[in-house]
Amino acid sequence: MRYLARRVARIRRPDLLLARQLGMWLSDRRYLAIGYRLYFGVWPDYDRPRTFNEHVHAYMLRCRSPLLHVAADKALTREHVARTVGPRYLVPALGLWTHAAAVPLETLPRPCVLKPTVGSGQVLFLRPGEDTDAAQLRLTLQRWLDSEYGRMNREWCYDRLRGKVIAETLLVDERGSVPADYKLYVVGGAVRFIQVDRGRFCRHTRNLYDTDWQLLPVRLTLPNHAPDPRPAPLAEMIEITRRLAQDFEFLRVDCYVVNDRVYVGELTNYPGAGFERFIPQSFAVELGGHWRRKVSPL
């Protein structure tokens, strides 16, 4: 085991896809622990987690609340948002389909975005005037529906959820670009920081702010960009995030702001499946100190 640990420690950028394939026979706990060791260079302690990443993995392994399915299924998320803070915070939806063949690609109003309701990071844009290969797009959509997304990183929240294809209006900012993505992290019942992603589909960068919109001297996996202007509805974003997350042990709420109006895009149970790296690592420990395990079932 010590020899293995020394060999693993020398792997700086492991081929995660290969590691996943080789580790499919492992239990969820062993699979995640080895992945943690490969990525962070130390063995995790899931029984007494200290860092934010350890807490996320421990949460993945022990929590079986049906609420996690609400956050993992975009259709259920929309219902939760409408019920909790109101439908005005929803991105306008254009349709929901159980089979790729039923999606009316040729007649969908453009610009729009297509996503699976179960999964993350899978998205297709349909823009006005762009030629599209409908047959190829449907193959992609059906591949999304046929995949067991949660098995990739042992994310229980996706277990037994049947995905659908959802189409939503594509939000754009004043320049006609995809707007910044605001991600609010609720740890221990309070918003601890706000992540701002830009260039998600080209040169992806990321800044972190406290709730007073002070730029934090912290990176999260990606490089920083120039400071972002304080969003006008910041207090509103924080308040609706608090309401959406109040029954969860942990939740990340993803928002957009267009013309000073807040839209809730998605809810996230396990950011980066617990494999996003805070720089410096001390911030992961600080966040972990805020985590509070719920004693009673959610």
H or E segment at 17? helix 16-22
Tokens of 198: 């830009």
**Cis ω on the peptide bond leading into residue 116 (within 30° of 0)?**
no
Per-residue confidence (pLDDT) for residue 22, from 0 to 100: 66
**Percentage of the chain with pLDDT > 70?**
91
- The pLDDT-based confidence of 232 (bands split at 50, 70, 90) is very high
173 or 250, greater pLDDT: 250
Per-residue confidence (pLDDT) for residue 298, from 0 to 100: 43
**pTM (2 decimals)?**
0.91
Mean pLDDT of the chain: 91
Reference 221, options 290, 264, 278; nearest CA is: 278
**Cis ω on the peptide bond leading into residue 111 (within 30° of 0)?**
yes
- The pLDDT-based confidence of 233 (bands split at 50, 70, 90) is very high
Q: Quick one: CA dihedral 170, 162, 294, 62, positive or negative?
A: negative
Length of the chain equals 298
Tokens of 165: 């294809």
- The pLDDT-based confidence of 176 (bands split at 50, 70, 90) is confident
Per-residue confidence (pLDDT) for residue 226, from 0 to 100: 97
Instruction: Please compute the mean of the pLDDT values over residues 171-200 and round it to a whole number.
Output: 93
Dist. CA 152–CA 170, nearest whole Å: 28
Per-residue confidence (pLDDT) for residue 59, from 0 to 100: 98
pLDDT digits (tens, 9 = 90+) for 77-129: 999 999 999 999 999 999 999 999 999 999 999 999 999 999 988 999 999 99
Which of 6-10, 66-70, 111-115, 239-243 bottoms out in mean pLDDT, i.e. has the lowest?
A: 6-10
Do 219 and 279 touch, CB atoms closer than 8 A? Answer: yes
CA angle (291, 270, 226) in 5-degree steps: 90
Per-residue confidence (pLDDT) for residue 121, from 0 to 100: 84
- The pLDDT-based confidence of 297 (bands split at 50, 70, 90) is very low
Tokens of 104: 């009316």
What domains are there in the chain, each with its CATH number? 2-43 (no CATH), 47-88+178-298 (3.30.470.20), 92-170 (no CATH)
Instruction: Please compute the mean of the pLDDT values over residues 37-63 and round it to a whole number.
Output: 97
